[in-house]
Amino acid sequence: MDTIDRLIINQLQSDFPICETPYQVVAERLGLTEACLIERLQALLDNGTLTRFGPLYHAERMGGALTLAAVKVPTERFTEVTAIINAFPEVAHNYARTHVLNMWFVIATESLAQQQNTITAIEQQTGLRVYNMPKLNEYFVGLKLEA
Amino acid sequence: MFTLDETDLAIMHATQSGLPLTPHPYQTIAKQLGLSAEEVMSRMINMQEQGVIRRIGVVPNHYKLGYRFNGMTVWNIPDEVIDELGEQVGQLDFVSHCYHRPRHLPEWPYNLFAMVHGKSQAAVDQQIKVMSELLGKDNQGHEVLYSTEILKKTGFRSGG
């Protein structure tokens, strides 16, 4: 990663324009050529420095439901429970974390009713209580990570 | 609630994994969907205004940028002041997500969640110190949960 890559990452975390030739517009602003910008973005995606480039959609505004949930998994059952929970297509992300509540996952469904059904099904299949922690208020989402 | 019609949904499906890296990306999407570039652009501008599109840009991999210490900080804050303090914590430049979530007493007394990111343990410790000082006596207890393993990560993204 060189200074041009850093410039692109730092300047392009939001506000990519919606217009006919957006790469041209951004490239001019950054003092690059359009071809160079496109090539750099492709390389940063290919080598995994960027996980994605494009619009980020807000699930709840589209009528969907999202929640964060946690379970206390006994150490000896960790692999088995991971497999059960990950098998649910509604489970979008799942992380092991340092706590008694040691597994944390995001459930994304089209409705609240489906969210409740998914939680019930996870509880039945794992025999573990699911601690449901839907957001009550959002104070901030988004971050500029300095490259 | 903003209702998406079939064309909006088609645009969403065509772009949620990324924008084409072509000189006329909206034209490229329009061609795939049998629409005009103008229609794709005006619908995306509308979705952005309605907050359905949170932002358009790059999503860096934290780890690749050297942010290897990603902590979920959780705080027990009196309900009367959580909105005021949540807004303040959300404004800190190292916080990527900040939410009010329900407690599960007695085992889980925490109601304010803030994700922090640092290149070293010391950097994250310093961030937590800044947050502790900001919250002061309203902080009735906190913990930091570090992720030890990504067990599943799908293409689904909702923001942040």
Q: What is the distance of C-alpha A59 from the center of its chain? A: 11
Q: Name every chain A residue with its beta carbon within 8 A of the beta carbon of B19.
A: 16, 53-55
Q: Report the interhelical angle of B25-33 vs A22-30 (nearest 10°).
A: 160
| A107 and A65, same domain (yes or no) | yes
CATH code given to domain B69-146 = 3.30.70.920
- How far is A113 from chain B, CA to nearest CA, in Å? 17
- Give chain A's radius of gyration (CA, Å): 20
A64 and A34 together in one domain:
no
Residue A10 pLDDT more than 60? yes
Does A39 reside within a domain?
A: yes
Where residue B157 falls among pLDDT bands split at 50, 70, 90? very low
What does each C-alpha distance from B2 to A40, A51, B51, B92 come to in angstroms?
35, 28, 9, 30
| pLDDT tens digit sequence for B115-132 | 999 999 999 999 999 999
State which amino acid sits at residue A7: L
User: Which of the two residues, B61 and A62, has the higher pLDDT score?
Assistant: B61
Nearest by CB to B100, from A8, A91, A135: name it. Answer: A135
Based on the fold, state whether residues A33 and A65 are members of the same structural domain. Answer: no
Q: Residue B159 has what DSSP assignment?
A: -
Contacts of A141 in chain B (CB under 8 A): 54, 96-98, 159-160
Q: What is d(CA A86, CA A89) in angstroms, rounded to the nearest whole number?
A: 7
The answer as to whether A52 is a domain residue is no
A75 touches chain B (CB under 8 A): no
CB pairs under 8 A between A and B: 250
Domain that holds residue A107: 59-133
Does A123 lie in the same domain as A72? yes
Q: How many domains does chain A have?
A: 2
Query: Has residue A147 been placed in a domain?
Result: no
pLDDT-derived band at B160 (thresholds 50, 70, 90) equals very low
Residues A33 and A71 in one domain: no
Single pTM value for the model: 0.82
Tokens 């990560």 belong to which residue?
B153
Residue A116 lies in a domain: yes
Residue A136 φ/ψ, nearest 5 degrees: -95, -30
pLDDT digits (tens, 9 = 90+) for A53-105: 999 988 777 778 899 999 999 999 999 999 999 999 999 889 999 999 999 99
A68 lies in some domain: yes
| Same-domain pairing of A129 and A70 | yes
Among chain B residues, the shortest Cα distance to A8 is held by: B58
Specify the pLDDT at position A61.
Answer: 77
Query: For residue A11, is it within any domain?
Result: yes
Q: Is residue A24 part of a domain?
A: yes
- Extents of the domains making up chain B: 6-49, 69-146
Which amino acid makes up residue B71? G
CB contact at 8 A, B100 and A136: yes
B105 touches chain A (CB under 8 A): no
Q: Do residues A20 and A65 share a domain?
A: no
- Which of A50, A85, A147 comes nearest B59 by C-beta? A50
Q: Which helix (H) or strand (E) holds B147?
A: strand B142-153
Nearest CA in chain A to B30: A20
Q: What distances in angstroms separate CA B79 from CA A136, A137, B86, B102, B137, one per listed residue?
A: 11, 12, 11, 10, 14
Whether residue A101 is contained in a domain is answered as yes
